[in-house]
Amino acid sequence: MNFDVNAVPSPSYVVEESLLRKNLEILKSVIDRTGCKILLAQKGFSMYSVYPLIGEYLDGVTSSSLNEARLGREEMGKEVHTYAPAFSDAEIDEILNLSDHIVFNSFHQWNKYKEKVQNHSRKIEVGLRINPEYSEIEVDMYNPCFAYSRFGITLENFDASQLDGIDGLHFHTMCEQNSDTLERTVKVVDEKFGEYIKQMKWINFGGGHHITRPDYDLDTLVRSIMYMKDKYDIDVYLEPGEAIALHTGYLVTTVLDVMENGMQIGILDTSAACHMPDVLEMPYRPHIIGSGMPNEKQYTYRFGGPTCLAGDVIGDYSFDHPLKPGDKLVFTDMAHYTMVKNNTFNGINLPSIVLNTIDDGLKVLKRFGYEDFKIRL
Ligand SMILES: *Cc1c(COP(=O)(O)O)cnc(C)c1O
């Protein structure tokens, strides 16, 4: 952490430009070594004020909705790819106007919109999402290959007679994984779908690649990309979300009160339910700078949010010093899957959004208030 916690509003998400650039340089090195293309999956990180910066390194964005496609088109202006489990008649025209690639989830959807795509004034590349029925994700919530999954076409349902006009195949079967998982996945995809990949211009490896994690094996990633490129002479796309913003941001919060009920309980001005929902959904325990596991240090606290949800509990943490109201705490790794998922449940205000720039230091980009709460109701 490279800034003064007392110089930012509380609560606030603070993203460090220097850390973001460090991640982007790693991703760019993969592009340079392989000639692959890498897109930002906006689902995980849509802080559009840094899209121009991301666009210096990456090839564009991937979108899971009309709104994301528009944000990527307006704020980055590079390639826009869009995939959704199903598109609607109400949105398809606008989505096509905004997208360079569109990925359909079924032959039915492809046939439904084929004419629109092919009669469009611009050439739009079309992909089909396949389900290789192979993934190493153990939590069903995050496993697109679990039984009866709605994501992609399985080999059994793949109809080779309907590939006219299809430019690429897309799979997304990973979550926070290293490249050994990718290598095994690519092998399965190749065995099952190789004869169709042969007919394609590109293949998209989806997201879930933890490329910017310190122990990530870049050589195996490069080998997996080059395997597909060399064998089929096609372009390879990756569309990570988390890897772009991994370990680049913080959530700064203030202790509002400390109370006692069998243990010390700290009430914060930030909420798991509103501001870091993955803590409850995943679930996981985010790290706080300077803290230890419960009872590892002398003073242990359970932290909860300011909402009325009993389960709005972030976790138990210990410290060398007792905490008091007004103390600041800093949660780490809070840039991805936070701002994009937060909400104003209980009327709780959204954290401000701050960028710690390399040249000019802290910049408060967004402050939220009553109107942001009211406008959605
Ligand atoms: C979620 C998702 C991504 C990004 O996943 P990360 O885990 O954030 O890298 C990419 N592509 C698709 C289709 C997704 O659903």
pLDDT in tens, 292-335: 999 999 999 999 999 999 999 999 999 999 999 999 999 999 99
279/165 same-domain check: no
Q: What is the CATH number of the domain that holds 271?
A: 2.40.37.10
Kindly give the number of the ligand 1 atom that is closest to the alpha carbon of 337. 8
Average pLDDT, the chain: 98
**Within a domain: residue 50?**
yes
**Within a domain: residue 21?**
no
355/270 same-domain check: yes
Q: By alpha-carbon position, which residue is closest to atom 7 of ligand 1?
A: 208
Burial class (CB in 10 A: 0-12, 13-18, 19+), 282: middle
282/191 same-domain check: no
What is the mean pLDDT of the segment spanning 199-208? 98
109/192 same-domain check: yes
Rounded distance between C-alpha atoms, residue 156 and residue 81, angstroms = 26
Mapping DSSP to helix (H, G, I), strand (E, B) and coil, where does residue 253 land? strand
Kindly give the number of the ligand 1 atom that is closest to the alpha carbon of 243. 9
Q: How far is the CA of 144 from the centre of ligand 1 (A)?
A: 10
Question: Of 245, 279, 296, which closes a domain?
Answer: 245
Question: Of 205, 221, 245, which closes a domain?
Answer: 245
What is the mean pLDDT of the segment spanning 21-26? 98
How many independent structural domains does the chain possess?
A: 2
61/178 same-domain check: yes
The whole-number pLDDT of residue 139 equals: 87
57/204 same-domain check: yes
Q: What is the CATH number of the domain that holds 221?
A: 3.20.20.10
**Within a domain: residue 368?**
yes
107/222 same-domain check: yes
**Within a domain: residue 151?**
yes
- Whether pLDDT at 73 is above 90: yes
The whole-number pLDDT of residue 168 equals: 98
**Within a domain: residue 201?**
yes
Give the tens place of pLDDT for each residue, 144-172.
999 999 999 999 999 999 999 999 999 99
Q: How far is the CA of 175 from the centre of ligand 1 (A)?
A: 8
54-to-20, 42, 47, 265 alpha-carbon distances in Å:
8, 11, 10, 40
9/39 same-domain check: no
- Which stretches within 233-316 are classed as H helix? 242-245, 272-275, 278-281
Q: Which residues contact 135 (CB under 8 A, 6 or more apart)?
A: 143, 144, 145, 173, 174, 185
What is the mean pLDDT of the segment spanning 36-48? 98
- Whether pLDDT at 1 is above 90: no
Kindly give the number of the ligand 1 atom that is closest to the alpha carbon of 209. 9
**Within a domain: residue 23?**
no
**Within a domain: residue 206?**
yes
Q: Say which DSSP state 144 is in.
A: T
Is the C-beta atom of 144 inside 6 A of ligand 1? Answer: no
- Dump strand ranges (E) for the chain: 12-16, 37-41, 60-63, 79-83, 101-104, 125-129, 168-170, 202-204, 235-238, 249-260, 264-268, 299-304, 313-319, 328-332, 352-357, 361-366
47/178 same-domain check: yes
Q: Tell how strand 313-319 and strand 299-304 pair up.
A: antiparallel
Question: Of 194, 213, 245, which closes a domain?
Answer: 245
Q: How far is the CA of 69 from the centre of ligand 1 (A)?
A: 15
Is the C-beta atom of 242 inside 6 A of ligand 1? Answer: yes
Is the C-beta atom of 192 inside 6 A of ligand 1? Answer: no
Q: Of the candidates 209, 107, 217, which has an alpha carbon nearest to the alpha carbon of residue 153?
A: 107
325-to-206, 253, 271, 274, 302 alpha-carbon distances in Å:
44, 11, 16, 21, 14
**Within a domain: residue 20?**
no
265/197 same-domain check: no
Q: How far is the CA of 253 from the centre of ligand 1 (A)?
A: 28
271/239 same-domain check: no
149-to-92, 105, 204, 214 alpha-carbon distances in Å:
23, 11, 19, 32
187/323 same-domain check: no
What is the mean pLDDT of the segment spanning 233-251? 98
What is the mean pLDDT of the segment spanning 10-15? 98
What is the mean pLDDT of the segment spanning 259-287? 97
What is the mean pLDDT of the segment spanning 112-121? 98
Kindly report whether the global pTM for this prediction surpasses the value 0.95: yes
Structural domain of 276: 5-13+249-334+342-374
